[in-house]
Amino acid sequence: MSDIDPTGTDWSEAEIQIVISQYFSMLAHEIANEPYIKAQHNRFVQEATGRSKGSIEFKFQNISAVLNKLSFPWIAGYKPMSNYQGALLGAIESAFKNQRGLLGIFETQIQRGFSEEKALYIEAPPQAQHTDVIKNEALERLVKKFDPAARDARNRALGRKGEELVYQYECARLGSERPDLARKVRWVSEEDGDGAGYDILSFDLAGKERLIEVKTTIGHQTTPFYISSNEFELSQERPDQFCLMRVFDFLKLPRAFELQPPLSESLILRPQSYRAAFQ
């Protein structure tokens, strides 16, 4: 089990707290593109806990696995490894609740990242994958508690910066071949407010309108997101013009892919809420 050292003793709560704090420290540096030395952090944990280098590396990979499930960035050098136990999940949940913990680190780095110029890279949408259903009840509860889709939807600053990135991309894309169309690109949600069912009015090279709805996350490309009934209805009414642009990995290297209607062919759509009114 991942919570057992080769010496045969369980990781204590205090030891888990130490390894999590060192992981988050490295992650904060990585998100901020600041240099750091992984070996130094591993050595710190060794000295504080007496654990072996290998067991600490594996514990770092366990943390990456949990963050991956929560659609948070994780340290590239520590590929997610599952087989973690409740002690680690509980400690990470506590870190989320601590304003000096993971959420605090991300809030700081998100604001710092917003002040930096970023380029947008477009790639193909993810292919449908058959993944195992989450069987760890504690992990499932943690994912629901820190719902990635709800988290992104609440972060209006993140959404706005994603829209701005797509707006700049569309202007640049048209600028070299159709500068006349580039001048007509509009950031609709910024100029007119929400409610149109899309965020950016752009064009293809032939002059056909592109109604772009932008969805942004700091998570990976398969992070779930919310789509409003207004947006979905527009995708059905104007399928030849509607485009959903999914921007992901915003803090590190922003990338995006496009989805065209019918959205039900590429997404699993489930109702999440109901509008309640009095008769």
With 80 as the cut, is the pLDDT of residue 202 above it? yes
pLDDT digits (tens, 9 = 90+) for 114-137: 656 678 999 999 986 655 555 678
Closest C-alpha among 208, 216, 167, 223 to residue 190: 167
What's the whole-number average pLDDT of the chain? 88
Q: In what order do the strands lie in the sheet with 255-259?
A: 121-122, 255-259, 242-248, 209-216, 200-203, 186-187
Q: pLDDT tens digits, residue range 240-255?
A: 999 999 999 988 889 9
Amino acid 103: pLDDT: 65
How large a percentage of the chain has pLDDT more than 70? 87
What gap in Å lies between CA 213 and CA 209, rounded to an integer? 13
In terms of phi and psi (left: phi > 0; alpha: psi -120 to 50; beta: otherwise), the region of 226 is beta
At 37 the pLDDT is 96
256-275 pLDDT, tens digit per residue, is 999 999 999 999 998 877 77
b or e along 207-216 (b: 16 or more beta carbons within 10 Å of the residue's beta carbon)? Answer: eeebbbbbbb
Amino acid present at 111: Q
Q: Which fold has domain 154-265?
A: Trna Endonuclease; Chain: A, domain 1 (3.40.1350)
Tens digit of pLDDT for each residue in 71-114?
888 998 999 998 776 789 988 888 877 755 566 666 666 666 56
CB within 8 A of 147, min separation 6: which ones?
none
Q: What share of residues in the chain are helix, strand, coil (percent, to 5)? A: 45, 10, 45
Residue 66 or residue 136, greater confidence: 66
Kind and range of the H or E element at 243? strand 242-248
* Nearest-angstrom CA–CA distance, 182 and 175: 5
In one-letter notation, the amino acid at residue 70 is: L
- 137-146: buried (b, 16+ CB within 10 Å) or exposed (e) per residue? ebbeebbeeb
pTM score over 0.85: no
**Where in the chain are the domains?**
1-116, 154-265
* pLDDT, position 43: 97
So what's the pLDDT on residue 135? 66
Q: What residues does 206 pair with on adjacent strands?
A: none
Confidence of residue 183 (pLDDT cuts 50, 70, 90): very high
